[in-house]
Amino acid sequence: MRRQEVSASYRELSEDVEQVSENPTDEGGGEMEDHEDTSSVILPAPMMAVNSVFLVYQTITDFREKLKHPVMSVSYKEVSLYDAPGKTGIAFYPGKARLLSCKHHYYDHIPPLINPGQPGDIECSTQRINYTDPFTNQTMKYALVVQGPRDVKKKELVFLQFHLNGTDQDFSAIDYLLFSSFQEFINSPEKAEFMKDCESSYSSWKFSGGFRTWVKMSLVKTKEEDGSETVEFKQETSVVNYIDQRTKPRSDQLFFVVFEWKDPFIQTVQDIITANPWNMIALLCGIFLALFKAADFAKLSVKWMIKIRKRHLKRRSQVMNHIS
């Protein structure tokens, strides 16, 4: 259908040119009209080819850039219990400090302290473990591992109190890290190696003495290109000064820390490649079809102009002979 339309338009243009050549009022004007017709017919084809080549280059360049820079997809999953991938664990490195109490509370309510600085109830699931430092393989480390809060709907929190009976340092703090599977730690036959892997994989934080540090946690899962999944903890902390109302002045330090989930949503991050090879192939096919049409159009245009030029020269020769 397209070729028939082009042929029909050529026939119409040929008839118009023949009518003009049959009434030549000005030979120079006729030649100028021929040049104008030639430029108006032939120029669009090369321009179309140039544009199509540029579009091919731009399409391939965009496709390669999308492969190098995938788009990050973030989704959220609401949970009522933080059990996956196996209950959260908190590893404390208290040094010379001693755990006085550990309790689970709900709905953001912590009752007033009773006999602060004195041993209290330890109602948490705890484990003590010694292992060598994974970075030096020489220094021995002591860790107190506690199961973290689970019930996010009831706003479960874990409240811990530590006591340090004097120190020769200017500042006092306790290190801790969060890891994703307390149950896996309990079931592991090599708990020391498990903790060495956790310390190598997760970040550690601190909380200071003389304050109540409130930690609100959030969990981020990242899916890698090979299908594996990594877990990362993010946290927001708020610090409140502890007013020591004990009667006698003391040189010891009290540490208070609270752990709670920030919200019931687990964040999943995944890189998505937006470059679709099928879309690119379809676009390139359309571009190559346009190039083919442009080449075919240019070929027909040249043939048509040669034919018109021959007719014009023949008509001009007849007119000159008649004048002679």
> Is the confidence at residue 179, as pLDDT, over 70?
yes
99 has a pLDDT exceeding 90: yes
pLDDT given for residue 20 in this prediction: 43
At residue 156, the pLDDT reads 92
Angstrom distance (rounded) from CA 301 to CA 10: 9
Say if residues 106 and 151 touch (Cβ distance below 8 Å): yes
Mean pLDDT of all residues in the chain? 78
How far is 85 from 38, CA to CA, in rounded Å? 75
pLDDT class for 274, splitting at 50, 70, 90? low
pLDDT band at 139 (very low <50, low <70, confident <90, very high): confident
Q: Can you give the pLDDT at residue 159? A: 96
- Do residues 308 and 31 lie in contact, with contact meaning Cβ atoms separated by under 8 Å? no
Let me know how long the chain is: 324
Question: Which tokens hold the place of 15?
Answer: 């008839």
Check residue 173 and give its pLDDT: 92
The pLDDT of residue 271 is above 70: no
Sequence-ordered list of residues with C-beta below 8 angstroms from that of 162, at least 6 positions apart, any chain: 92, 94, 97, 98, 99, 100, 174, 254, 255, 256, 257
Least confident piece of the model among 14-28, 152-166, 240-254: 14-28
Residue 227 vs residue 269, higher pLDDT: 269
Q: List all residues 6 or more positions away from 1 whose beta carbon is below 8 Å from its beta carbon.
A: none
pTM > 0.75: yes or no: no
pLDDT at site 245: 81
Q: 175 near 257, Cβ under 8 Å? A: no
> If phi over 0 gives left and psi between -120 and 50 gives alpha, with beta otherwise, what is residue 276?
beta
Name, of 34-43, 102-111, 220-229, 303-312, the range with top average pLDDT: 102-111
Q: How far is 133 from 283, CA to CA, in rounded Å?
A: 57
Question: Does pLDDT of 287 surpass 80?
Answer: no
- The shares of helix, strand and coil residues in the chain, as percent rounded to the nearest 5, are 40, 30, 30
Name the packing angle between helices 27-42 and 2-22 (round to 10°): 170
Digit-coded pLDDT (tens) for 192-240: 999 999 998 888 999 998 899 999 998 888 887 777 778 888 899 999 9
Rounded (5°) CA angle 30-36-41: 125
Q: Which residues pair with 218 in a beta bridge?
A: 234
User: What pLDDT score does 216 carry?
Assistant: 94
Q: Provide mean pLDDT across the span 66-93.
A: 77
What pLDDT is stored for residue 280 in this prediction?
A: 66
Sign of CA dihedral 90, 91, 95, 101: positive
Better pLDDT: 285 or 64: 285
